[in-house]
Amino acid sequence: MRHALLIAAKDLRERSRDRSVLLYALLLPLGLTLLLNLVLGGVTDPRPFRYAVVDDDRGPVAAAFADALRGAQDGGAVEVRPAGSADEARRLVDAGDVAAAFLLPAGLSPDLAAGRAAAVEVVGDVDAPLGTRVAASIARSFTDRLTSVRVAVEAARRGGSSVDPAELARLVAAEPDPLPVVEDPAPRRELDPTTYYAAGMAVFFLFFSVQFGVTSLLDERRDGTLARLLAAPLRPSSILVGKLLTSCAIGLVSMGVLVVATSLAIGAHWGPPVGVALLVVSGVLAATGLVAVVASVARTAEQASGWQAVLAVALGALGGTFIPIAQVGGPLAAVSLASPHRWFLAGLADLAADGVAGVWPSVTALLVFALAGFGVAGALTRRAVRW
């Protein structure tokens, strides 16, 4: 082990002066994380829908509708602003200041009380289809409620009730829903956009940064220094272990710096440190093991770098480092389980929802990748090292 540590220390001194390591381990992942967060972070952040309300009714029905919107606004789902007229509301919609406008016509309350036809108009922005559909759903839900009250009052009236219809409508409206919907949200298993991009770029470039250790074995063979190492009084396996330790050290430093930098710079929420450390260590081992397999079958360092780049991009895309493949569902989501990136990101989401106890499935999967990679690489390296 002492020889392996000496080889790793020598390689790390050399790699510390290699600008490519700095580029792939720190600058590129950090730069792309900042760029993605700047460009896409605001798009994917959930924001309330903005609506305008024109109240030309000024009656009890309009007041009830305002109460319904106020409840949604208190929950953070919508933002509501008044508009003086229908023309002003349409201008707000055309300008994109609001996603939709509710138009409550004059005489809405008297018409409904008298049993005459009435309507709540929704003017939507064609460029905000989701906000428009939500506005239409809100209006439809409210009018359905009014219809049920109206039907109940009419039934009571025809049944000979002597209660004032307005009082009867108030009593019916005050009745609780017979089948209320109770929200009991499960713990969130989804990273916020900032953390997702930070973690995705960190694990994506991890597969580039760890290659600088194991690939140096091929450099040693090309430069003729491998023969000297094999002639030295040390076990040949110490050479491979030293190279693997170099890869692991570079990967751990890269991930550690990226976790701290993205947390401080853009507010990424990686989660409890213990859980993050478990995922980072297992992720580094998995990346090193898989990259070592490529290095063990390549004949030159250049060939290994090319194959490792293909492997990193393929696994990164499959694992959802750019888009959350797991949320797509279907066969693609199932295939993504073959990527360590997928397990690393899923582990962070589980960490956010369940704490440290939630990361063990992902840690176990990553360690399986690592053990498989180290096993195959160890069996194949005899040909690369020629010991």
**Cα 51 from Cα 56, distance rounded (Å):** 16
C-alpha distances out from residue 204 to 14, 35, 182, 207, 284, Å: 24, 15, 40, 6, 11
Across the range 126-152, mean pLDDT stands at 80
Q: What percent of the chain clears pLDDT 70, i.e. is strictly above it?
A: 82
Q: Could you read off the pLDDT of 323-377 as tens digits, one per residue?
A: 776 666 667 777 888 888 888 988 888 888 888 888 899 999 999 998 988 888 7
Buried b (16+ CB within 10 A) or exposed e, 170-205: eebeeeeeeeeeeeeeeeeeebbbbbbbbbbbbbbb
Could you report the per-residue pLDDT of 92-101, keeping only the tens digit for each?
888 888 888 8
- In degrees and rounded to multiples of 5, residue 159 shows phi and psi of -85, 0
